Amino acid sequence: MRGTYVIRVVGKINSYFTSRYHFNPEYAIVNWSGDNPCSLAGLAIEKPGDLGISLGTSDTVKFFLIDQL
């Protein structure tokens, strides 16, 4: 087994989404994320010159850009 994932139901979908987009009101909302978004949040890359490396499942480099590429 590669990893253990804990996914918890935190509630039901909001009525806004059921009325506007016709989602089933019984849909469950769960907490979940992958290693790359979580590492980005934890690294706190927020200013030019900041650089982070995540050696998770996909080995990524994250950095702050002033302008779009």
Model pLDDT for residues 31-64, shown as the tens digit of each residue: 877 777 777 777 778 888 888 887 877 888 888 8
* Averaged pLDDT score across all residues of the chain: 82
* Contact predicate 66/48, CB 8 Å: yes
For the chain, the maximum distance between any two Cα atoms, rounded to a whole number of angstroms, is: 46
Which pTM value belongs to this model? 0.42
In this prediction, residue 28 carries a pLDDT of 92
Three-state SS for 53? strand
What average pLDDT does this structure show over 11-29? 94
Cα separation, 50 vs 64, whole angstroms:
6
In this prediction, residue 26 carries a pLDDT of 94
Please list, in sequence order, all residues whose beta carbon lies within 8 angstroms of the beta carbon of residue 49, skipping any fewer than 6 positions away: 64
Q: Which residue has the higher pLDDT, 2 or 32?
A: 32
